[in-house]
Structure 1
Amino acid sequence: MPRGKLKKVFPGGNTYMGFYSFYDFIIEPDATRIFIVKGGPGVGKSTFMRKIGEAMLERGFDVEFHCCSSDNESLDGVVIPKIRVAIIDGTAPHIVDPKNPGAVDEIIHLGDYWDEGKVRASKEEVLQDNQRISRLYRIAYSALKEAKVIRDEWESYVTESMLWPRVYQAKAELLEAIFAGVRSRYNQPARERHLFATALTPRGLVTGNLETLLQDGQRLYTVAGDPGSGVPGILATVARVANEKGLNTEVYHCPFDPNNIDMVIIPEIQAAVMNWQPPHAIDLQAMPNLQVAMALDLNRFIDREHLNLYGNEIASAVVRYQAALDRAIAHIREAKITHDHMEGYYIPAMNFEAIDYKREEILQRILGYAAEVLGQA
């Protein structure tokens, strides 16, 4: 049996608005089963989920790994779309509780497998580390808010210099190219799924997941342009038009500003539209089935003479923006180091052998759900 396809996304992100969650879009509330994993740092939640995901991949099921923005090597969730089963980390900052207890959702508490006495012996250290982590994230989010103010200034110079009638004409041509021959289905409500494809992590801006999202696509439309040139607005229009035509969409948001969109995937017509500014580029040579159908560069519509009036201001904004962003990432990185330190108090207290037995039990139950669902198909 061929191995299933793996997709990697981020369900939450460290943004200028603080921690921003798209957890409600991990899976539908009427799923076959949702397992919510609870427990402290170092108890093995991510490993628990990853090993079940790997086991399902080996059995030929497509699997989604929902990565953690605060530690992109860890997982916040695993989804097996074909059988509509998910395993989700339900601890802070993305607190998840059952919405349909028993009928759909259930809690797996890995705290049942720790030695309480050993954990309590480190109570003061755990409280101190948790306090420091919270403080570090507050500082990081403050720096991201500062970066947003600076970026708004930077964008304003470009926006003022755009030849907007030409931008609107180019947008109309892009929409015509994407949706040519697609008939609107007004009697069929479309579904939108909102997630992040990239994230601000302790390692900086991580974008290594884009190829997994585009592996089934055939047509790629790229939109490039400096901040303020209108790229997010065009992507938002693509998502809106697709929705109006009754097409399901996957909408991937900007990791810095979740109000902006970086990519729209329309699976039914095997098309994707994405922000082509660095660091969003992908290795097209590694994806021979995906062809660039149209490349739109909004920088062609900038009045350079007018923009040059603000050359010094833009140069200053770029430096200040990057400095604020770097400062935020440094504090997120320090929070990760502190979190890893706190894990050291939990790991020695865990009965990982018992957790392995529990994981195998859950895997067998998931395989049972798969047999039921596929038997009904």
Structure 2
Amino acid sequence: MSNEKYYVTGNTAEGFVNFLPTNVRNFNHVFILKHPSNKLKTAIIKEVIRRLDSNYKLEILCSALSDNYLDGVIIRKKSIAFIIDNIASSELSGAIEIDLELFLNHSVKPDVSDYLSSYQEYTHKAYNNFKTGLTIHDDLENIYIREMDFKKADKAADQFIQHLLQHVSKQTRTSNTCHRLFGTNTADGIVNIVSELIQPLKRRYYLKGRAGTGKSHFMKKVMRACRSYGFDIELYHCSFDPNSIDMVLIRELDFCIFDSTDPHEFMPERKEDEIIDLYEETVTPGTDEKYEEEIQHITLNYKSYLKKGMSNLKKAGEYVEKMEVQFEFTNHDVHSITTFILNQVK
């Protein structure tokens, strides 16, 4: 079946963020795979996916560590999730922890405390650099905010909402919002899965603009309007500043609108795709040229801290891999553990 992929965790200027609870609200069972090896937990999740793929539509949770790992898999039709212990929280309903060490025949558990400490040290450095970069980025936003016509911005959002919902009936149920990310900062670099997310949708809007030109505000207004109509919403947060929004996706409307600027800039691929350019519509003409030197200086400055943060994450990822080689398990271990877990939900 066609599966969905997205992130519920991210490495941001506010540190590690975890939106898992909104995606498994009131689930019957959330199985938490407990073990220090991300490689083992990922192998089990992949085996669960392999066995269930032909019977259910699955939601695959990508990892903020790197592309080598997964955070979990959700079987929404059965109200069941399998997740790694790193992203578990007290908010989860139906949580069942499974200690994977009980299934492994090892006489000595490896000591990875030094590797773990180094991983945490470099990850913390990355968060500090991202935070500094975001503070500098605020100066860039202020340039455009000074030149913004907020009445035009609100009018553009209102007109878009009217166009989007003009032939749509209100639903007689309460809207549910799942908070997610369509990418994040990892040891592999800045990654996103925008193309995969928007591929099946017919109504795709590419939101253009500059820092501070109201892209996130525009999408929050769209989200609130759709929520008032009772539609379920997938709200994708910015992996740099998680208080900002990068995408609103509503499957019942076959619709999404997303921030299509650097570092996730895309251009329309189909004739039905549309661009909304808030810089052109709401900012004083000539602003880019007027503040060219200042914009260039601020941009280079904040991106230098992003680059430092990404370098820190890459180093942190090296310690993750050093940890992983300390653990041993076999394909038989993965098979038997997966069989045990799936037997619990038959």
Report the TM-score when normalising by structure 2. 0.92
1:23 deviation in Å? 1.5
Q: Residue 42 of structure 1 contacts residue 346 of structure 1 at CA under 8 Å; is this kept in 2?
A: no
From 180, 187, 200, the equivalent of 1:195 is 180
1:291 deviation in Å? 3.1
Q: Residue 40 of structure 1 contacts residue 111 of structure 1 at CA under 8 Å; is this kept in 2?
A: no
**Aligned-partner residue type, residue 174 of structure 2:** P
Instruction: Report percent identity of matched pairs.
Output: 22
Q: How many residues align?
A: 345
User: Hey, what does 1:312 align to over in structure 2?
Assistant: 293
CA RMSD between the two structures? 2.2
Q: Are positions 1:84 and 2:68 aligned together?
A: no
Question: How many angstroms apart in 2 are the aligned matches of 1:97 and 1:316?
Answer: 44
Helix, strand or coil for the counterpart of 2:301? helix
Aligned pairs for 1:1-377 (under 5 A) are 4-29=1-26, 31-42=27-38, 44-57=40-53, 59-91=54-86, 94-96=87-89, 99-100=92-93, 104-114=94-104, 117-119=107-109, 122-123=110-111, 126-185=112-171, 187-207=172-192, 209-281=193-265, 285=269, 291-292=272-273, 294-300=274-280, 301-347=282-328, 350=329, 352-366=331-345, 368=346
* Structure 1: segments with no counterpart, 5+ residues: 369-377
Q: Residue 115 of structure 2 contacts residue 320 of structure 2 at CA under 8 Å; is this kept in 1?
A: yes
1:173 deviation in Å? 1.6
Q: What are the superposed Cα offsets for residues 16-74 of structure 1, whole Å, 9 maximum, x if unpaired?
A: 00001101123123x232211000125610110012112211x2421111011122331
**Aligned-partner residue type, residue 245 of structure 1:** Y
Q: Residue 110 of structure 1 contacts residue 355 of structure 1 at CA under 8 Å; is this kept in 2?
A: no
User: Hey, what does 1:373 align to over in structure 2?
Assistant: none
Question: How many angstroms apart in 1 are the aligned matches of 2:245 and 2:216?
Answer: 5
* Structure 2: segments with no counterpart, 5+ residues: none
Report the TM-score when normalising by structure 1. 0.85
User: Hey, what does 1:372 align to over in structure 2?
Assistant: none
1:354 deviation in Å? 3.0
Q: Residue 35 of structure 1 contacts residue 105 of structure 1 at CA under 8 Å; is this kept in 2?
A: yes
**Aligned-partner residue type, residue 237 of structure 2:** H
Question: How many angstroms apart in 2 are the aligned matches of 1:61 and 1:114?
Answer: 29
Question: How many angstroms apart in 2 are the aligned matches of 1:306 and 1:108?
Answer: 57
**Aligned-partner residue type, residue 112 of structure 1:** L
Helix, strand or coil for the counterpart of 1:273? strand
Q: Residue 104 of structure 2 contacts residue 333 of structure 2 at CA under 8 Å; is this kept in 1?
A: no
Helix, strand or coil for the counterpart of 1:274? strand
Q: Residue 12 of structure 2 contacts residue 185 of structure 2 at CA under 8 Å; is this kept in 1?
A: yes
Question: How many angstroms apart in 2 are the aligned matches of 1:194 and 1:253?
Answer: 7
Helix, strand or coil for the counterpart of 2:125? helix
Alpha carbons of structure 1 residues 174 and 325: separation in structure 2 relative to 1, 3 Å: same
Alpha carbons of structure 1 residues 182 and 67: separation in structure 2 relative to 1, 3 Å: same
Q: Residue 157 of structure 2 contacts residue 222 of structure 2 at CA under 8 Å; is this kept in 1?
A: no
